[in-house]
Amino acid sequence: MMSTTPTTSTRPYLIRALYEWCTDNGLTPYVAVRVDDTVQVPREFVKDGEIVLNVSFDATQALKLGNDFIEFTARFGGVARSIIVPMGRVVAIYARENGQGMAFPQPESPDAAIPGRPVASVATSAASDAAATGSLLSVVPDAAKKTELPTDPERPPPGPRPALKRIK
C-alpha cells in the first residue's frame, strides 16, 4: 500500500541545482523574491513588493541554501545586512547574463508568518508572469520597469531592469 506521507517541496532542491549550474558556468545567480513580513531584506530596496537578489559567491557572505530558508549577509549601499528568505517566497532563480532559470508558483499566503524566525515588515508582489511551476525564463529588457541595485562595486551602473518572460 502506498503511504500518504507528505513529501518535502522540490523548490529548495531546484534552487540549489540552478545555483550550482550558474556558478559552474561562470554566470551570476539571481533570485526574485515576493516580499512579505516573513522575508528579512532591506525595505528600502523593495520595489512593487519584490526584490531581486544577487546570490553569487562574490556578492554574499555565509550563504546557506537550506530546505526552509536562504540566508546570507550582503552589502546594500556599502552596509552589511542580514538576509533571510523563506524558500516559499522565492518566485524565480535565473542567470543574470542570459536569463535562463526557473520560475515557481506565486506564494499562496502572503501574510503567513513563520514562527521562531526574525521578520521584516515589507510589501508583497513579484515576477507574476512566471508563476507556472518549472517554467523556463528568458530576460527581456523593460525600460519602463524599475532598476535593480548592484551589490558588487565592480559591476557597472544599473540600466533598465530585465523582466521575466515565460518561454517554451
Where along the chain do its domains lie? 11-151
Three-class SS state of 60: coil
What pLDDT, on a 0 to 100 scale, did the predictor assign at position 132? 35
And the C-alpha cell for 36? 512579505
Read off the pLDDT of residues 90-140 as tens digits, 9 standing for 90 and up.
999 999 999 999 999 988 754 444 434 333 322 223 333 333 334 444 343
For the whole model, what pTM was predicted?
0.65
What is the pLDDT confidence band of residue 165, given thresholds at 50, 70 and 90?
Answer: low
Pairing mode, if any, of strands 61-65 and 69-76? antiparallel
What pLDDT, on a 0 to 100 scale, did the predictor assign at position 4? 73
Residue 45 backbone zone (phi > 0: left; psi -120 to 50: alpha; other: beta): alpha
Read off the pLDDT of residues 51-86 as tens digits, 9 standing for 90 and up.
999 999 999 999 999 999 999 999 999 999 999 999
CATH code assigned to 11-151: 2.30.30.220
Torsion, CA 52, CA 53, CA 55, CA 60, rounded to 10:
170
What pLDDT, on a 0 to 100 scale, did the predictor assign at position 160? 60
What pLDDT, on a 0 to 100 scale, did the predictor assign at position 67? 95
What is the pLDDT confidence band of residue 159, given thresholds at 50, 70 and 90?
Answer: low
The secondary structure of residue 157, as a DSSP letter, is P
Tell me how far the alpha carbon of residue 164 is from its chain's centroid.
12
End-to-end CA distance of the chain: 37
